[in-house]
Chains A and B, each alone.
Chain A
Amino acid sequence: MSDRIKEKLNILADAAKYDVSCSSSGSNRKNKDKGLGNASNGICHAYTEDGRCVSLLKILLTNFCIYDCAYCVSRKSNDIKRAAFTVQEVVDLTINFYRRNYIEGLFLSSGIFTNADYTMERLVQVAKKLRLEHNFNGYIHLKAIPGASEELMKEAGKWADRLSINVEMPTEKSLALLAPDKKREDMIKPMQYLKQEILANKEEKKIFKKAPSFAPAGQSTQMVIGATPETDLEILYMANGFYKTMNMRRVYYSGYVPISNDNRLPAIGTPVPMIRENRLYQADWLMRFYGFKVNEIVDKQNPLLDIDIDPKLGWALRNMNLFPMDINTIDYQLLMRVPGIGIQSANKITAARKFSRMTWEHLKKIGISMNRAKYFIHTDSEFEKKDLQPLQIKQIIMQEGNSKYKPNFSSQLKMF
């Protein structure tokens, strides 16, 4: 019995790992009646050798699937070992991992077996059992199965902290090419439903504090990048749309890991587009936390993010007419836009300059990255004297800076 469960875990964790979300924050579930667990800010309990955070027990209920999406390891036509957990097995694993402080909770997804409702119903059962029979207050993220009924979605939101529906591909065209059985509409419709329910629940909670929560950590989505020829412009506009119109908490970008010899897809052995993925996340952060509009990051003339420099530096170099800025007077919003200054440093600078005029010495101590920032700011007496063109600045920064991607680049080239 224990060997079988080991094998199942091996198969079903392996198949779930391409879902990149591992966030366990954003909920505020309290420990109820001296039960088990709570969910608040999220903790990464471990990091895998690829450097990704392990916060949740992320597994599929089963990798049997009726669909044949080309980019997915669990596609029907793929000749792999199949397995399925029982509801009780998932519950036991979750509880026992949680009690040992291995995880923050459960992220349960599944291949589609029989039909959408049948699958969704089982996912909901797991969450319900955890909450009701085990008084489990840890984090639960359920995948909402496209095409499942609204009643089941509603039930899922009652027990889960977060729900997500993956949009899978950045454009409808790519989806039609790689996942002919799936329709974009089947994904967008439930997203809209969830958005309405989440917003309605928020309003309800304002009036009745004790009203039961509906997916308090909101909804998220994911798209595979690098499997199809979309530009970063298309990808980021799509993400921006999700943030603006769907109230998404997060959009995840999953660099395509080649897993198939299908000639519609990059061949096995093609490097994972990790740097591009990282640039997309940086752009995503600029939109969500730094007050950038999507059209400041990419536009028709620049549909692709620079691979060798980050998007904030890229923006600054395209807008040199705005610089250099006076570090002692510019407002917070602009301060955050200076390359080399992050949110934390911007906070510190605005606090500190109430007491004294900032000098470069101060800025270094505070921890801003002067090798970038110095081309874009000046203090009362200090500034970078050389009159440099954007391209020259870029070259100097790249030479001086030790990009974390340099070693990555070379190891990837060596591997393949």
Chain B
Amino acid sequence: MNIVIYDGSFEGLMTAVFEIYEYKIVQPNIVNSNKETGSLFGKVHEVHTNKDKTARVFKKLKDKLTPNAFSNLYKTFLSETREIENLLYRYIAYILSSNASVENDYSNPDVLALQQLSRKVHREKHRMEAFVRFQLTQDQLYFCLIQPDYNVLSLISKHFEKRYADQRWLIYDSRRKYGLYYDLKRVEEVSMRFENDFNDKAALKTICDEKEELYQKLWCIYFGSVNIAARKNMKLHIQHMPKRYWRYLTEKNNIN
């Protein structure tokens, strides 16, 4: 087994793929340098992220893949699941080894796994577009905390930029400690530290716009009123809104 260490970035991984071919590394085991990996036996090859090598891998893959399949590579990478690097490498190797287009060969376990994982990430992206609940601050910033299962901030950026073009907003991933900030012109990645817990109602009052509490209340009233008690179905409710997301959902924290 040959260990290939990269810096944890998608570009870094692509460089690693390039160098596996370049140095003819057999049986590579790609490892993220930021992650605890335990003991590493075998030869170690360290990758330094390289723009040209990344670009060449991208170009080759773009020739071989439909745009959709190409974007799935990045999506699955964002899942941050264990062994994702090796899955992506095996997938890419399979794509490159074949003359025909094999991205839809779901009889190949790696192709199927990649497709299924990219759907999971896509679903998480969609959930975040749904579950963001902005709160308006005194200086007219709409902000929201999220904790997505996967690292999807970069995937939701466009959606919010297009939709909320006339308001300043901040969406912050409180687990991964960075966020997106839109200043009416462009979206930027930001990292900052929060002192307050925004679910604390007292703290909320001090920083929020005077109307914020009213609209949260109205939203909760609405959420309660549209429910038809005679059709109660908590299983379905939780299936659609799993409990792990409730923490930042206004309607689930503000009842009465």
- Measured CB to CB, the nearest residue on chain A to B115 is A348
Q: Does B249 touch A at the CB level, under 8 Å?
A: yes
Please give the distance in Å from A275's CB to the nearest CB on chain B. 12
Chain A residues positioned under 8 Å from B136 (CB to CB): 99-100
Q: Which of A4-36 contact B (CB under 8 A)?
A: 5-6, 9-10, 13-14, 16-18, 31, 34-36
Chain B residues positioned under 8 Å from A387 (CB to CB): none
Q: Which of B78-115 contact A (CB under 8 A)?
A: 102, 104-109, 112
Q: Does A366 touch B at the CB level, under 8 Å?
A: yes
Q: Given that A43-B129, A54-B223, A100-B133 are known contacts, is A31 also in contact with B162, CB under 8 Å in the complex? A: yes
Counting chain A CB atoms within 10 Å of each CB, the highest count among B132, B163, B235 belongs to: B163
Is the Cβ of B232 less than 8 Å from the Cβ of A50?
yes
Chain B residues positioned under 8 Å from A13 (CB to CB): 221-222, 225-226
Cα-based distance from A8 to B239 in the complex (angstroms): 31
Q: Given that A9-B221, A408-B233 are known contacts, is A102 also in contact with B133, CB under 8 Å in the complex? A: yes
Residues of A in contact with B, size category: 35 or more
Per-residue 0/1 for A56-90: is the Cβ within 8 Å of any B Cβ (1 yes, 0 no)? 01100000000000000000000000000000000
- Measured CB to CB, the nearest residue on chain B to A407 is B235
Cα-based distance from A354 to B218 in the complex (angstroms): 55
Per-residue 0/1 for B194-231: is the Cβ within 8 Å of any A Cβ (1 yes, 0 no)? 00000000000000000100110111011101111111
Is the Cβ of A49 less than 8 Å from the Cβ of B237?
yes
Counting chain A CB atoms within 10 Å of each CB, the highest count among B112, B214, B217, B231 belongs to: B231
Is the Cβ of B226 less than 8 Å from the Cβ of A48?
yes
Please give the distance in Å from B8's CB to the nearest CB on chain A. 30
Chain A residues positioned under 8 Å from B162 (CB to CB): 31, 38
Chain A residues positioned under 8 Å from B133 (CB to CB): 100-102
How many residue pairs link A and B with beta carbons under 8 A? The number is: 157
Chain B residues positioned under 8 Å from A93 (CB to CB): 218
Q: Does A122 touch B at the CB level, under 8 Å?
A: no
Q: Given that A101-B132, A101-B134 are known contacts, is A48 also in contact with B237, CB under 8 Å in the complex? A: yes
Please give the distance in Å from B127's CB to the nearest CB on chain A. 9
Please give the distance in Å from A292's CB to the nearest CB on chain B. 26
Is the Cβ of A355 less than 8 Å from the Cβ of B226?
no
Among A5, A10, A51, A99, the residue within 8 A (CB) of B240 is A51
Residues of B in contact with A, size category: 35 or more
Is the Cβ of B130 less than 8 Å from the Cβ of A31?
no
Cα-based distance from A412 to B136 in the complex (angstroms): 42
Chain B residues positioned under 8 Å from A14 (CB to CB): 225-226
Q: Given that A43-B129, A355-B102 are known contacts, is A35 also in contact with B134, CB under 8 Å in the complex? A: no
Q: Does A360 touch B at the CB level, under 8 Å?
A: no
Q: Which of A76-118 contact B (CB under 8 A)?
A: 93, 96-97, 99-102
Q: Does B135 touch A at the CB level, under 8 Å?
A: yes
Is the Cβ of A101 less than 8 Å from the Cβ of B144?
yes
Q: Does B192 touch A at the CB level, under 8 Å?
A: no
Q: Does B56 touch A at the CB level, under 8 Å?
A: no
Chain A residues positioned under 8 Å from B144 (CB to CB): 101
Is the Cβ of B236 less than 8 Å from the Cβ of A47?
yes
Q: Does A352 touch B at the CB level, under 8 Å?
A: yes
Q: Does A173 touch B at the CB level, under 8 Å?
A: no
Among B135, B211, B237, the residue within 8 A (CB) of A50 is B237
Q: Which of A137-176 contact B (CB under 8 A)?
A: none
Please give the distance in Å from A255's CB to the nearest CB on chain B. 8
Q: Does A189 touch B at the CB level, under 8 Å?
A: no
Is the Cβ of B214 less than 8 Å from the Cβ of A2?
yes
- Measured CB to CB, the nearest residue on chain A to B119 is A344
Cα-based distance from A14 to B239 in the complex (angstroms): 24
Per-residue 0/1 for A267-289: is the Cβ within 8 Å of any B Cβ (1 yes, 0 no)? 00001101000000000000000
Among A10, A38, A50, A354, the residue within 8 A (CB) of B233 is A50
Is the Cβ of A17 less than 8 Å from the Cβ of B226?
yes
- Measured CB to CB, the nearest residue on chain B to A349 is B106
Q: Does A305 touch B at the CB level, under 8 Å?
A: no
Please give the distance in Å from B97's CB to the nearest CB on chain A. 14
- Measured CB to CB, the nearest residue on chain B to A357 is B107
Cα-based distance from A14 to B164 in the complex (angstroms): 29
Chain A residues positioned under 8 Å from B227 (CB to CB): 17, 48-50
Q: Does A199 touch B at the CB level, under 8 Å?
A: no
Cα-based distance from A113 to B5 in the complex (angstroms): 72
Q: Given that A2-B214, A46-B249, A362-B106 are known contacts, is A51 also in contact with B223, CB under 8 Å in the complex? A: no
Is the Cβ of B231 less than 8 Å from the Cβ of A50?
yes
Cα-based distance from A2 to B211 in the complex (angstroms): 10
- Measured CB to CB, the nearest residue on chain B to A134 is B166
Is the Cβ of A17 less than 8 Å from the Cβ of B165?
no
Chain A residues positioned under 8 Å from B112 (CB to CB): 365-366
Please give the distance in Å from B218's CB to the nearest CB on chain A. 6
Q: Given that A13-B226, A17-B227 are known contacts, is A38 also in contact with B163, CB under 8 Å in the complex? A: yes
Cα-based distance from A201 to B241 in the complex (angstroms): 39
Is the Cβ of A44 less than 8 Å from the Cβ of B232?
no
- Measured CB to CB, the nearest residue on chain A to B132 is A101
Cα-based distance from A102 to B211 in the complex (angstroms): 16
Q: List 13 A-B contacts (CB under 8 A).
A: A36-B166, A44-B130, A46-B251, A47-B236, A49-B234, A51-B234, A51-B236, A51-B239, A96-B218, A97-B215, A100-B133, A352-B107, A365-B109
